[in-house]
Structure 1
């Protein structure tokens, strides 16, 4: 039986963007405190899930087991470029099958984006770690979730059954905070 804890991780601008119009994370959203939080969190998970344009670019990245969502495979396939990665097309295989192919049947799974990947797990998150940089604005950027900026990330998380719990300051200058949005019981 597969027993997985699902956690999301992202940093967003004041307008709910995770990337600029070119679909790149701008330097304005990169903060040492958030990078430490993110790296430490990923060091503690059993599996990372992301789209083909998302990655964490951390020192331990090559050692982490991951699933990469793609339409370029029918269902599941090993990633020829990364022996720690499994390619997954959700149209051809279940998430549980993808986890099994990656060798993970229990533990914590980190969902790290992009927007469509985040949305796929709205009904399954145990916790969503939303880091925010309220002084950063990215006009015309890529919203963290489908429906942003028409709706705020907070409204979308709340609508998916999550509620804000503890909040931490990651960097006083800026400021940069992270809020754990947890499943309402």
Structure 2
């Protein structure tokens, strides 16, 4: 689960080592894609080029409050068109957000980083992908052609791990 039943990431799901990994990965990205409720709220956030998914526009528009952001409705424009509109035609793209955002890019991932905090339980929470909890996130990633890499331990005391899922060639 990414959030609790109220669609909020509770403090018990926030870990310093995971936050540091996440922030460093976003710093290396040329573009960040996320839904309207996702914002990484970090010191570098205002400087990051981003595309915000929304259904409130027909296709593409400049964000009214953030000069670094583009609004994109996937039903009205392609991903490539959104990137071009945002002024980003090369580099690493980071996808953050919830299940609808993650699911949209499932066939495009070359790598998906799956964080897990096994001691945190969020009954009725917001899942990372559509199809969870009927299937595990690992089953969903594997069914879409991704293969687990070596699991990293981010916080041994709290049993927080991170696994790269790589596109099988």
TM-score, length of structure 2 as denominator length: 0.98
Does residue 72 of structure 1 match 2:78?
no
Return the match for 1:157 from 127, 141, 146.
141
Q: CA deviation at 1:130?
A: 0.4
Judge conservation of contact 2:17–2:154 (CA < 8 Å) in 1.
yes
Residue by residue over 1:131-184, the C-alpha shift from the partner in whole angstroms, topping out at 9 and shown as x without a partner, is 110000000101110010111000000001000012211112111111000001
Q: Which has the higher contact order (CA 8 A, sep 6+)?
A: 1
Judge conservation of contact 2:32–2:93 (CA < 8 Å) in 1.
yes
Partners of 1:56 and 1:64 in 2: CA distance: 10
Judge conservation of contact 2:98–2:127 (CA < 8 Å) in 1.
no
User: Secondary structure at 2:132's aligned position in 1?
Assistant: coil
Residue by residue over 1:14-58, the C-alpha shift from the partner in whole angstroms, topping out at 9 and shown as x without a partner, is xxx101111111111100000000000000010000000111111
Give the corresponding residue for 1:6: none
Give the corresponding residue for 2:69: 85
User: Secondary structure at 2:62's aligned position in 1?
Assistant: strand
User: Secondary structure at 1:143's aligned position in 2?
Assistant: coil
After superposition, residues 113-152 of structure 1 pair within 5 angstroms as 113-152=97-136
Return the match for 1:104 from 82, 88, 94.
88
List alignment gaps of at least 5 residues for structure 2. Answer: none
Residue by residue over 1:59-96, the C-alpha shift from the partner in whole angstroms, topping out at 9 and shown as x without a partner, is 10110000000011110000011000000000110000
Partners of 2:48 and 2:80 in 1: CA distance: 18
Give the corresponding residue for 2:165: 181
TM-score, length of structure 1 as denominator length: 0.90
Partners of 1:55 and 1:152 in 2: CA distance: 25
Does residue 63 of structure 1 match 2:47?
yes
Aligned residues: 169
Dislocated runs of 4+, deviation >6 Å: none
User: Secondary structure at 1:106's aligned position in 2?
Assistant: coil
List alignment gaps of at least 5 residues for structure 1. Answer: 1-16
Give the corresponding residue for 1:172: 156
- Report the structure, 1 or 2, having the larger strand content: 1
